[in-house]
Structure formats: structure tokens, C-alpha cells
Amino acid sequence: MTNTAGSSPRPGSARPGAFTRLAADRGATIALAALALIVLACALAPLYADRVSRTDPFRSNPNDTLLLGGRIIEVVQENTAGLGLGTTPLGPTWRGAYLLGADAQGRDVAARVLYGGRNSLLIAASATALCLALAAVAGLAAGFAGGATDTVLAWLLDLLWAFPITLLAISLSLVLLSQGVRLGPVLIESDSLALPILILGVIYVPYVARPLRAQVRALRGTEFVLAAMSLGAGPWRVLGRHVLPHVVPTLVGFVPVIMALALLSEAALSVLSVGVQAPAASWGTLIADGQALLYSRPLVAIAPGLAVVATVLALNVLADGLRDAMDPRG
């Protein structure tokens, strides 16, 4: 992943080079621009909902009507043909309000995809931050301290890794959903975004912490660290001066990777009814809701799905670029 063995004691000097290389990578630049565009669009969700669509994307309004092409139509229409079973929501209008049509509740799909993106991105970004922070602590502690700390941490990481991710998420969320969880003085409510963040932040810790631990162990054995320690430098000083600078690029490289994984897992968990609670939305819950309309209005599930694919693809391209930029041999 990164060049560890025998690196120079001052790796900081390599970073400007990495940035230049990243900027020169056309794929990565495009991905970055695409990400910025997606974030911007989601940030401007209220603009679309209030000014263009003029509907409340969080209120269920199956009896609403809409003026379209000079006619007043119901947003969710009762079927009248044949036996007259079921209802059909408005399809895509491809202009202004209800750009992508309505969902079963008569809500504007486009507005919900934009608002859902806010939650999905927020969850993925926060989960990534949490994951990397936890992984850094675990990886550094296990790799640097060694001994019993290492054994216990390694066991915990193994346990977390072998505990099937979907099961862990479902179990956690069931406990949390029905009563919230109390962490010291902080009560996490069942309907807060903190829950999916917590779940997604925890499950990928081993993914980052294990390579990190290996890297730190390797660094600890290098001559310059041994030399620094034999010269009487305290462990914190060694960590700060000689280990951390090598570890930070590794962590940075993981940012888009974990964020992409978190986005995908958020979607998968929502299908299992674990995650953001109604009426709030995320791309995952939108896909889950859209499944109920897959045959009559496939776009309701396909639009948020494509949003996930586009975002994750951009993140993966960026991750690729970052990896190449930080490892000049590649």
C-alpha cells in the first residue's frame, strides 16, 4: 500500500509530490469534480424542493393534486382499468416539479433523492471519520505497544471481522432501535443519524486497523525508530515524530475506500430496514422504498441506485488516483 520498509525518517517531503501527481491524474480530477458536483446538488436540495418542485419531500400526501399541462391530476392515481386494483403514482414529468415522478406516498422523487443524498453523504463521511479514528488508535496501540495490548486488540479485531457484517449491523440496530443506546451521559436516539454512523463506523475498523497494525509493527522494527528509542526518546515522541507521519498517508488513502464501502453498506442495511428512519431519507431507504414500486415505477428505485453507483464510482476512481499518487512506483 505505501512504501514502509527503509523509508526516510522525514517522509513529509514526499507529500507535495503526491499532490502534484494527483492533480495530474485526469481520472482523479474528474472524479473529484464529479464528487463536488454531487455534494453541491445535494446541498442545494432545499432550493429544488422549495423553488422548483414546491412540495414537501418528507410529508406523505397521497391525496395531493398537481397542475400539469393545463390539467389537474392526482399525484397518486387510483387505477380504474379492469378490476380497478391498486394505485399508480405520477411518472417522471421531466420538467420542474416531479422531475422523476412521485413515490407511493405522492412525494417528489427527485427532491427525495437530493435530500437522501445529504443524509447518505453525511453518514458515509462521519462513519469514515469515526472508523479511521478508531482504527488509528487500535492500529497504533496494537502495533506499537505489542504484548498483551496487541493480543487483546488483535482478538477484538478478529472478532469484529469474523462477526458477519450484516448480522452485526442488524443486531446492533435492533437493540438501538427499540431503546436507543446510552454512552455515558449521551443518549443516542433511535431515529438519529448517529445510529447508522455508529454501526458503519465500527464494522470497517478491522479493515483499516489490521494493515495499519502491520505497518506500525514494521516501522517499529526499522533502524531509525530503534535508534531514536535507544537515544532515549519517549514512546510518544517516537510515535509523533517517526510513526505518525508514515501512518497518516495510509489513512488518507483509506478515506475514499471506506467512504465508498460505507455508502454501499448503508444501502444494503436500509434494505434490511436498518438505518435512517422515516420520514427522513437516505439513498438506501429510497432504494428500499422503491423496491415496492419496481414494476410499475422502476425509476423510484433506479434513481437513488444510480446516485449510489455514481458517487461510489467517483470515490473509487479517486482512491485509485490517491494510491498511485502516494506510491510513485505504481
> In this complex, which beta carbon is closest to other proteins, that of residue 238 or of residue 263?
263
How many C-beta neighbours within 10 Å does residue 154 have?
A: 17
Smallest gap, in angstroms, from Cβ of residue 271 to other proteins? 6
The answer to whether the beta carbons of residues 212 and 250 sit under 8 Å apart is yes
> In this complex, which beta carbon is closest to other proteins, that of residue 15 or of residue 324?
324
Distance, CA of 3 to CA of 5 (rounded, Å): 6
125 sits in which H/E element? helix 109-145
- Residue 7 within binding range of other proteins, rule CB under 8 A: no
> In this complex, which beta carbon is closest to other proteins, that of residue 84 or of residue 232?
84
Closest CA to 75 of 112, 102, 100: 102
Stretch binding other proteins (CB under 8 A), from 15-23, 36-44, 195-203, 274-282: 274-282
Instruction: Identify residues 164-203 at the interface with other proteins (CB under 8 A).
Output: 164, 166-167, 170-172, 174-175, 177-179, 190-191
> Which residue among 159, 187, 226, 227 contacts other proteins (CB under 8 A)?
159
Smallest gap, in angstroms, from Cβ of residue 131 to other proteins? 18
Q: Which three cell numbers stand for residue 218?
A: 514494521
Instruction: Identify residues 85-114 at the interface with other proteins (CB under 8 A).
Output: 85-88, 104-105
Parallel, antiparallel, or unpaired: how do β-strands 181-183 and 186-188 relate? Answer: antiparallel
> In this complex, which beta carbon is closest to other proteins, that of residue 44 or of residue 278?
278
> In this complex, which beta carbon is closest to other proteins, that of residue 67 or of residue 83?
83
* Spacing of C-alpha 39 from chain mean position: 13
Distance, CA of 139 to CA of 147 (rounded, Å): 13
Smallest gap, in angstroms, from Cβ of residue 56 to other proteins? 9
Smallest gap, in angstroms, from Cβ of residue 104 to other proteins? 6
Instruction: Kindly state the number of chain residues that form the binding site for other proteins, as judged by CB under 8 A.
Output: 71
- Residue 208 within binding range of other proteins, rule CB under 8 A: no
- Residue 149 within binding range of other proteins, rule CB under 8 A: no
Distance, CA of 197 to CA of 88 (rounded, Å): 34
Distance, CA of 49 to CA of 47 (rounded, Å): 6
- Residue 317 within binding range of other proteins, rule CB under 8 A: yes
> In this complex, which beta carbon is closest to other proteins, that of residue 3 or of residue 241?
3
Distance, CA of 120 to CA of 234 (rounded, Å): 42
> In this complex, which beta carbon is closest to other proteins, that of residue 71 or of residue 329?
329
Parallel, antiparallel, or unpaired: how do β-strands 87-89 and 76-78 relate? Answer: antiparallel
> In this complex, which beta carbon is closest to other proteins, that of residue 106 or of residue 201?
106
Tell me the one-letter amino acid at 43. A
The answer to whether the beta carbons of residues 267 and 284 sit under 8 Å apart is yes
Instruction: Identify residues 53-72 at the interface with other proteins (CB under 8 A).
Output: 59-63
Q: What single-letter DSSP state applies at residue 11? A: G
Stretch binding other proteins (CB under 8 A), from 73-81, 108-116, 230-238, 240-248: 73-81
Stretch binding other proteins (CB under 8 A), from 36-44, 123-131, 232-240, 292-300: 292-300
Distance, CA of 23 to CA of 324 (rounded, Å): 11
Distance, CA of 279 to CA of 93 (rounded, Å): 24
